[in-house]
Structure 1
Amino acid sequence: MTSQRTLVIGDIHSGLKALKDLLVRARVTSEDTLIFPGDYIDAWSDAVETIDFLIQLRASHNCIFLRGNHDELCYEWLTEGKDNPTWFMHGGRATAESYANADQATKNIHISFYESLLNHYLSEENKLFLHAGFTHLKGVEHEYFTKAFYWDRTLWELALSLNPHLSQTHEHYPQRLIHYDEIYIGHTPVTRMGKTTPQKAANVWNIDTGAAFKGPLTALDVHSKEFWQSDPIHTYYPGEKGRN
């Protein structure tokens, strides 16, 4: 194991038991930089416990936390108190039930955590990390629609649709993709493709391996491309349905 790794960890979806197992399997130390592309909650029963753990992890490790669409939906629910039936249908009910046992002080700490999340992170090596995607041809700094950072699916669809032999210098190569050496996302589970391991299309890496459903949780070393996985996440939560 090399020191000072940069590990990107997929969408957790309240699967704290799987996350703890994954950190052991990947032999994570305080020397490692951990990048989380969002969707920390919604699906399994450990929503409050997952956020508590991540806040503690940030105190002992170099962590970069990005904003996912589920995190934003939970934040809106906590701060505005509005019922969102669609959110409830897609994992929010388990999160709301978890927060029913939390006091207001805990909720306030979590609200601050959700407010601190980044929409995107660009490393010194020109590697871009974000939850979902972006639409502006000139890159994330020019994006008009900030919700695209945690809702967009067209970036991954675009990468998948490309002819793998098309050169970046070709006149029809998508301008969105040429600004960054690599792009790392979650949001769209690769289980939709029948996969349970990180997938690369063009220069885009998708590390959402379906932890909200019956896939494992994944940590990927962005330099070596070695990866580690938990067991299928539903096995840690017998009797629960997740987002099935």
Structure 2
Amino acid sequence: MRTLAIGDIHGGHKALTQLLDRVDPQPQDQLIFLGDYVDGWSESYEVIEELISLARKRKQNNHTAPIYLRGNHDELVLNFLVKDQRNEQWLYHGGSSTVESYEGKSKDDIARHIKFFTENLVDFLELDGNGFFHAGFHNLNGPHHEYYKNLPYWDRSLWEMALCIDPNLSQDNPRFPNRLKLYKEIFIGHTPTTRLDSTKPIHAANIWNVDTGAAFTGPLTALCVETKEIWQSDPLVDLYPDEDGRN
């Protein structure tokens, strides 16, 4: 059995199907998607269809069910689908491609996707002593104590803090941040590693960032929690050569 954390997809359906083919999930594998399934490339609708289909097929075959975390872009798209909210900042940061992706879809199609966003997504996950988040958390006592419940899929401070920590500092050192001591390891997306000139997951303190910039110039990545083996799609700029994504 493998536990596989999968980074931000951002409308890249071609990358998603390519990555799943390369990972070749087995019946007992635990797939954990870290959120931001939409906004970027042209196939946000198709990505959600794929994720719904994946869950259905694995359930029918008595395979381990995938877990879908909520990303900040998923919250924004839900607001669009339910309330037709079209915030200008959201449209600029990938939302316009999602609006186009949903054009002409039936009310039943929209209803199925609303159900996916409202009933199938979780704000964060704690599993085997590890924490899985789209973004992170702020409260010193952990995500259960957040005043603002959307912080686990919006707040970047955990990752920014991890990047500033001396890499030689062990978790039993009193200077090691208490927030990070709540978990053996933490797996996140949200902040592309391409901002640090890397298309591979980056490890800082006890955090693994698996968002390898699929919304921009990087590939989509899956990381094995147990072994740290990685699988990647082709860069999305190659899979969608006639599009800009979020570039």
Q: Which one of 184, 188, 191 corresponds to residue 191 of structure 2?
A: 188
Q: Distance in 2 between matches of 1:50 and 1:29?
A: 21
Give the 3-state SS of the residue equivalent to 1:24 in structure 2. helix
Q: Given the alignment of the two structures, is residue 52 of structure 1 paired with residue 49 of structure 2, yes or no? A: yes
Q: Distance in 2 between matches of 1:226 and 1:84?
A: 39
Q: Which one of 3, 6, 10 corresponds to residue 3 of structure 2?
A: 6
Partner of residue 164, structure 1: 167
Ranges in structure 2 where 5+ consecutive residues have no aligned partner: 59-64
Q: Deviations over 1:179-206 (max 9, x none)?
A: 1001000000000000000111011000
Partner of residue 239, structure 2: 236
Partner of residue 144, structure 2: 141
- CA-CA distance at 1:31 after TM superposition: 2.7
- CA-CA distance at 1:169 after TM superposition: 3.0
Partner of residue 17, structure 1: 14
Q: Deviations over 1:109-161 (max 9, x none)?
A: 101111121000111x1111010010011111112221211111110000010
Contact 1:22–1:218 at 8 Å: present in 2 too? Answer: yes
Give the 3-state SS of the residue equivalent to 1:8 in structure 2. strand
Q: Taking structure 2 as the reference length, what is the TM-score of the superposition?
A: 0.95
Q: Distance in 1 between matches of 2:143 and 2:33?
A: 18
The letter of the residue matching 1:179 is L
CA RMSD of aligned residues (A): 1.0
Sequence identity percentage: 51
Give the 3-state SS of the residue equivalent to 1:200 in structure 2. strand
- Provide runs of 4+ in structure 1 moved above 3 Å: none
Q: Which one of 49, 57, 68 corresponds to residue 71 of structure 2?
A: 68
Q: Given the alignment of the two structures, is residue 121 of structure 1 paired with residue 125 of structure 2, yes or no? A: yes
Contact 1:30–1:60 at 8 Å: present in 2 too? Answer: no
Q: Distance in 2 between matches of 1:127 and 1:169?
A: 17
Ranges in structure 1 where 5+ consecutive residues have no aligned partner: none
Give the 3-state SS of the residue equivalent to 2:223 in structure 1. strand
Counting matched residue pairs gives 240
- CA-CA distance at 1:29 after TM superposition: 2.6
